[in-house]
A and B are shown apart, each in its own frame.
Chain A
Amino acid sequence: MSQAAPQIKELEDQLHAYLEQSFPQHRMERDKNGDLIIWVERHEFLSMAERCRQDAKIRMDRLSDLTAYDNLDKKDGPERFVLVYQLYSMSQHTRLRIKMRINENESVPTLVPLWRAANWLEREVFDMFGIRFENHPDLRRILMDERFEGFPLRKEYDLQDRQPFPDTLPVRIAGYNPRLADPEDQNP
């Protein structure tokens, strides 16, 4: 990857210093491109995100991506999943990555009031990993069929386990799950 332009690098260093001063209790890293990574605990997450959105010196006004990964090998701590928020400041051209570890049955506060882009991104994370977001306005599957069982990007999901449906009707009309209707599947 190419190096950031000198001015942006300066801004990044300023931001790094400011963040270390503002959040001294959090672990901070720089990746090999110089992007800032900040690890946050779940109970501090919402206040941290609000600060990143509203603080005039940070001002991350864009949520460019939100994803997660299955931390099944416990490489990044004892928790099951790691959520990754990619923030971008359009005024300063700086980036910030927030990482948060969560357990399998934990839910996460939604960020839709802060960044409207979070709406569909959180739906995607819910669809693929089954992570629930509190107070999300419309938490439904976005990519897979609504009748789909399981969460395909969890490591325990069999890669080739296809669940085709004979129609594309929304579940309010179709209203059944062929997989559940099959008696062989209920007694594996």
Chain B
Amino acid sequence: MAKDGSAGFVPTRLDYAVKWAQKNSLWPMPFGTSCCGIELMSTLSGTYDISRFGAEVVRFSPRQADLLLVAGTITTKMSPVLRQIYDQMLEPKWVIAMGACSSSGGIFNTYSVLQGIDEIMPVDIYIPGCPPIPEGLLFGIMRLQEIVEKGLPRPNMHKLTREEARDAMSYRRAIGENLFEAEKLDATMPLTTKTGEP
């Protein structure tokens, strides 16, 4: 709109406009499981103000989110849940691993903790720290904006399929086939319903 009320226009390329819109509206789905979640909340607050970068609209429904912010330790028992949330998000989607635990397992090299979420999903940005300061998260988001805007090659561009993630979760490729057999068995069980069947 021009000042006198007549409709003006800005000539632009559609892909440029789309990228501009995407990078300035990275709606996060927070997956805060421990102390990194507190830093994430702090980043959302007025002091650090993540909304300067268009990422303040926190969506607790993965279907409305563009950015999965994994902040905290992911146990092996939680990893299928996280993978399901990733699968529910619509394209285009990005993933930030915030903190040492979600990047690499952190100090928890134990019997119950997943050693980095990149075992079950592709990750765009790793933010180091235990926990990272809010500025670190902001820097990560700005770096992600750069990736979105310039179309930089994303790390781990090979997207894990659901089956590959299952293999990764069970740490053995051979188990994958057994899982599918188990799924066939499940169809006969009364507690699971398949689509198209009563």
Taken together as a complex, chains A and B put the C-alpha atoms of A64 and B166 apart, in Å, by 40
Task: Contact check, A162 vs B166: say whether CB atoms are below 8 A apart.
Answer: no
Task: Contact check, B81 vs A168: say whether CB atoms are below 8 A apart.
Answer: yes
Task: Contact check, A165 vs B110: say whether CB atoms are below 8 A apart.
Answer: no
Could you say which residues of chain A place their CB within 8 Å of the CB of B186? 173
Q: List 19 A-B contacts (CB under 8 A).
A: A145-B77, A152-B111, A160-B111, A161-B111, A162-B113, A162-B171, A164-B169, A164-B171, A165-B170, A166-B170, A167-B80, A168-B81, A175-B185, A175-B189, A176-B182, A178-B170, A178-B178, A178-B179, A182-B175
Query: How many chain A residues have a CB neighbour from B under 8 Å?
Result: 24
Could you say which residues of chain B place their CB within 8 Å of the CB of A165? 76-77, 80, 169-170
Task: Contact check, A173 vs B174: say whether CB atoms are below 8 A apart.
Answer: no
B52 interface residue (CB < 8 Å to A): no
Task: Contact check, B169 vs A144: say whether CB atoms are below 8 A apart.
Answer: no
- Cross-interface CB contact of A162 among B111, B179, B182, B185, cutoff 8 Å: B111
Taken together as a complex, chains A and B put the C-alpha atoms of A160 and B115 apart, in Å, by 10
Could you say which residues of chain B place their CB within 8 Å of the CB of A144? 77, 112
A184 interface residue (CB < 8 Å to B): yes
Q: How far is the CB of A182 from chain B (nearest CB, A)?
A: 6
| Residue from the set B79, B111, B169, B178 with the largest chain A CB neighbour count within 10 Å | B111
Task: Contact check, A168 vs B76: say whether CB atoms are below 8 A apart.
Answer: no
Taken together as a complex, chains A and B put the C-alpha atoms of A95 and B50 apart, in Å, by 48
Taken together as a complex, chains A and B put the C-alpha atoms of A159 and B112 apart, in Å, by 9
Quick one: which of B120-175 are within 8 Å of A by CB? 166, 169-172, 174-175
Taken together as a complex, chains A and B put the C-alpha atoms of A184 and B178 apart, in Å, by 13
Task: Contact check, B76 vs A163: say whether CB atoms are below 8 A apart.
Answer: yes
Could you say which residues of chain A place their CB within 8 Å of the CB of B29? none
Q: How far is the CB of B187 from chain A (nearest CB, A)?
A: 12
Task: Contact check, B77 vs A168: say whether CB atoms are below 8 A apart.
Answer: yes
Task: Contact check, A178 vs B175: say whether CB atoms are below 8 A apart.
Answer: yes
Quick one: which of A110-163 are within 8 Å of B by CB? 144-145, 152, 157-163
The chain A residue with its CB closest to the CB of B190 is A173
Could you say which residues of chain A place their CB within 8 Å of the CB of B1? none
A181 interface residue (CB < 8 Å to B): yes
Task: Contact check, A162 vs B112: say whether CB atoms are below 8 A apart.
Answer: yes
Taken together as a complex, chains A and B put the C-alpha atoms of A117 and B140 apart, in Å, by 45
Taken together as a complex, chains A and B put the C-alpha atoms of A167 and B170 apart, in Å, by 10
Taken together as a complex, chains A and B put the C-alpha atoms of A50 and B169 apart, in Å, by 46
Could you say which residues of chain B place their CB within 8 Å of the CB of A159? 109-111
Taken together as a complex, chains A and B put the C-alpha atoms of A168 and B109 apart, in Å, by 21
A174 interface residue (CB < 8 Å to B): yes
Q: How far is the CB of A177 from chain B (nearest CB, A)?
A: 10
